Each structure stands twice: as C-alpha cells, then as structure tokens.
Amino acid sequence: MNNSIYPWQAYTWKQLLGLRAKLPQALLIHGPAGIGKQALAEVFTQILLCEASGALQAPCGGCEGCRWFLAGSHPDFRRLEPEILARQRVSVEVEDEPAPTAAKPQKASSEIKIDQVRELDAFLNLRSHRGGRRVVLVHPAEAMNANAANALLKGLEEPQADAHFILVSHRPARLLPTIRSRCVALPVALPKPEDVGPWLKEQRVADGEYWLAFAGGAPLRAVEYATGAGEHVSRYRQALGARDFDALAAVNDRGQLEALAEVLQKYALDVALASYAGRARFGGAKGSPNAAAWLRYARQMGKSRLLASQPLNPRLFAGEMIAGMPKT
C-alpha cells in the first residue's frame, strides 16, 4: 500500500485503483471530515498523472508527472478550493520586507466562487500537455456557492475527452442533486477505533482514545485536538462535567467561543443519543427524560458554532449559550 495512505484506508484505496481502467468523468469521494479523504484524492490524482509504466499500486514519485504534481505545477491538474484553504496550504513567508501598503488585508473567502470555475474553461477545452488525463480536484465540494455549482454542472454536462473531476465532500447532501447524479460516488466510512489506535500512538498523541471519542471517531480531527486545538475543549469539558457554569462562561475572546459551542453541542447530542439509543458518541453523557429538548439545544449550538466567528461580545454570547441549556 502507498505510504501516503493512512492505515485504515487500505480497502478504499483498492476500490480507487479498481476504477482506473474505466475512470468515470466525475468521482465523488465523500464521508465524515477528518478521516483522510483529501489524502486519498491527492494520491489517486497523482497516480492518474504518473507517467511510470510500472506504477500499478502507487505513484512512482520520480517521473516528470509526479515531480510536477508534488511541486504544485502539473500542467494537466487544477485544484478548486476556497481561498482560506489555499492560504493554509501554501505558506508564503516574507522576511525583513516592509508591507507594500498599509491597507488591511482582505478576509479570505470560505467559498469556491464562480470565477474559479470559469477559469477551468481553457483548461478543459485544450488538449492534455502530457498526452494523458486532465484532472480537476474540488475540495470540499460543498464549499461551492450556488453560481459556482451551476457553472461546474455545465462542465459535467458537457464532458471533454480525458478530463476528469474528483470531488471530495464532507457533506454530499449539500451538493446539487444534479451534480451528485453525474458522479460515481465512493463513500468513505469512519475507521474502526482498533484500526486507528496504533497510528495515534505513532503520532505520540496523549489520551488518544479520549480525543478520538470527542472527534466522533475521526483520527485527523483527534490529532488536531490533542496537539493544540483541544486546550479550551478540555477545560470546558471539565467545567461542564463539574457543572461549573462560571468557568464555562469565562470566555475571554472570540477564539474560544467556537470551542465552547462545540463542547455544548456534542454534550447535548450525547445526552440525546444516550436517551434514545442507550449509547453516547463523543465521550459519554447520561440520558435524560427531556431528550427532545437536548436535541433541540444541540441544533441551536450548531448554529452558534457558525456565529462564533462573528464580531460578538464573547462573555455575553457565552452566557446566552449556557442559559439556553436544558435543566434536566
């Protein structure tokens, strides 16, 4: 198996390799966030563009196609992603250089916009530079706004020879039904905890089981929590378990609001799941006779997570979230 593929992805990787002979024009790889779908799509794209004749199970890494892909400059590959992800992926450091202007930098967009899709026109209508396939990777596909989605749909309805789309989605239900209908879907399930445990130990993740549970079984999310993103999460979970509402409300900045909303949402979901199904998902909570209220509260906290990045008063917003918590 390719070394770039996570251990729990072996079966899905075999499925992908089986699609190479009759590659669909559009492939939709979907599943929960944090399980490595993008890594699968990246390596599969590389093997599609690999020019080594013996690369049957993995890209060779040494041919011109692989070198160009790894350098981010393959002429037969395009990537559609929100600007905010592009900035995270491509880190540009400028040392000892004065700022060119005093203007405030624009906030990076979290959407894939129609202009990005339109830029594919020339790429799709030209012949392959290397005489092979042309590949467009869209991640996450649900980030396309309405105009971008309709523009991409046009490309799917008018397929070009040897041009292929690979869509990666955490929430495929948010895609246009007409886009989904033109894709061959490849679902990627959450891995079994026993398949993830050894890998978490290799990553030197402390309390791996704890963080894997809070991440809903998603290994990459568990690592994010354990290596820094979980500092506030741990504090809020401890305060919630002790019913220390003053500590819960001690939010000093907007950066902590999303963590608080996530902890409250997952706790509420656990109460509802323990009530209805007898088993919690995110780390444990007891059931309640008021399960329906906890489920409504979980939905409200989902909305609060979306609002957490807005210019809100942290203390007031935290207090409002806590005040809405069901009493029993």
pLDDT digits (tens, 9 = 90+) for 31-87: 999 999 999 999 999 999 999 977 678 899 999 999 999 999 999 999 999 998 888
List, in order, residues 6 or more apart from 289 with CB less than 8 Å away. 275, 328
Please state the CATH superfamily assignment of the domain spanning residues 7-187 in this structure.
P-loop containing nucleotide triphosphate hydrolases (3.40.50.300)
Whole-angstrom distance, CA of residue 165 vs CA of residue 24: 8
- For the chain, what is the mean pLDDT? 89
pLDDT digits (tens, 9 = 90+) for 123-157: 988 888 888 899 999 999 999 999 999 999 998 98
Q: What is the pTM of this model?
A: 0.86
Question: Who has greater pLDDT, 174 or 98?
Answer: 174
Residue with tokens 């906290």: 301
Q: Decide if pLDDT at 98 tops 50.
A: no
* Domain ranges (residues) in the chain: 7-187, 230-323
Instruction: Give yes or no for a cis peptide into 198 (omega within 30° of 0).
Output: no
Contact 5, 43 (CB under 8 A): yes
List, in order, residues 6 or more apart from 90 with CB less than 8 Å away. 72
Residue 190: per-residue pLDDT: 94
Residue 31: per-residue pLDDT: 96
Whole-angstrom distance, CA of residue 316 vs CA of residue 260: 13
Question: Who has greater pLDDT, 125 or 273?
Answer: 273
316 class by beta-carbon count within 10 Å (0-12 exposed, 13-18 middle, 19+ buried): exposed
CB atoms under 10 Å from CB of 258, counted, come to 17
As a whole-number percent, the residues of the chain with pLDDT over 70 amount to 94
Whole-angstrom distance, CA of residue 65 vs CA of residue 86: 22
Residue 92: per-residue pLDDT: 37
Residue 167: per-residue pLDDT: 98
Residue 95: per-residue pLDDT: 39
Residue 91: per-residue pLDDT: 52
Instruction: Please state which of the ranges 115-119, 290-294, 296-300, 324-328 shows the lowest mean pLDDT.
Output: 324-328
- Three-point CA angle 60, 63, 66, nearest 5°: 70
pLDDT digits (tens, 9 = 90+) for 190-224: 999 999 999 999 999 989 999 999 999 999 999 99
pLDDT digits (tens, 9 = 90+) for 216-228: 999 999 999 998 8
CB atoms under 10 Å from CB of 109, counted, come to 15
